[in-house]
Amino acid sequence: MTAPAIHLAGVLQGAKAALIEPFDITLPGGQWSVLLGPSGVGKTSLLRLLAGLPCAAQLQGQIIAEDGAPLTPRVTMMAQDDQLLPWAGALKNVTIAARLRGERPDLNRAGALLTEVGLGAETERKPAELSAGQRQRVALARTLFEGRDIVLLDEPFAALDVVTRHQMQGLAARLLAGRTVVLITHDPAEALRLADHAWIVARRGISPCALPCTPPPRRIDAPETLAAQADLLRRMGLASPDKVA
């Protein structure tokens, strides 16, 4: 597997105005890149454009892979909503994309991936019989089953409780190592835990974030991580407690 770097440049244009003014960034190959910012700033639009999906916004610029090959055939995406079929068991949900393409899925590999995410005994259980964290584990196994070099994550852990979110972050970091991963989040703590590289997305453009020297996944309670988190919160315009009315 050769996971490419991705270059994005231009202006993200909404229906009436620019959502993101001129930017020029490169997401390194084989590493985690995190796009951080508040809701509505255009992060998901960028991710949909990377995935080749329909999007109300338009990029007046370019998205290209470092190796010059098309992006879309090498991309898979995992969303905040697990998007599981309610009438299908976990194993069938993992293999749904292959079956929709008319392929014969490798059930042994799908089962092995469910075992890897801790659901080896739950292959026949339907989404309604699983917890929110378990459903996201099925969604992660489905993402891995596609075997793509580029993985796009659109706030996939945001709806989970704190403990489950922490577990899923660690699991994803381990299982997606070596791929070009682009994570969208509005949570500075999540960004700092997982990012090899991170940027703040705002209307005025996309600017890089300073990260601790320690490799991800980082301890969120480490002093250098907490200091970086405070800096990110300031840069995102969030008031300190003594300024909140």
* Phi then psi dihedrals of residue 3, to 5 deg: -90, 120
What confidence tens digit (pLDDT) does each residue in 159-180 have?
A: 888 998 899 999 999 999 999 9
Query: Considering its fold, how many domains does the chain have in total?
Result: 1
Prediction pTM value: 0.91
pLDDT, tens digit, for every residue of 104-127? Answer: 999 999 999 999 999 999 999 999
Domain contains 1:
no
With a cut of 80, say whether residue 230 has pLDDT above it.
Answer: yes
What average pLDDT does this structure show over 18-44? 94
In a domain, 186, yes or no: yes
> Taking a C-beta distance cutoff of 8 angstroms, is the pair 169, 194 a contact?
yes
Residue, of 87 and 238, whose pLDDT is higher: 87
Q: What is the CATH number of the domain that holds 93?
A: 3.40.50.300
**In the chain, % of residues over pLDDT 70:** 96
Q: What average pLDDT does this structure show over 80-90?
A: 94
Q: Give the residue from 98, 103, 192 showing the smallest Cα distance to 148.
A: 98
* Residue 107 falls inside a structural domain: yes
- pLDDT confidence of residue 1: 56
Domain contains 143: yes
**149 located within any domain:** yes
Q: Is the pLDDT score of 21 beyond 90? A: yes
In whole angstroms, give the CA distance from residue 206 to residue 219.
Answer: 26
Q: CB within 8 A of 137, min separation 6: which ones?
A: 117, 118, 119, 168, 171
| Residues 122, 125: Cα–Cα separation, whole Å | 5
Q: Which residues constitute the domain of residue 98?
A: 6-243
* pLDDT, position 133: 92
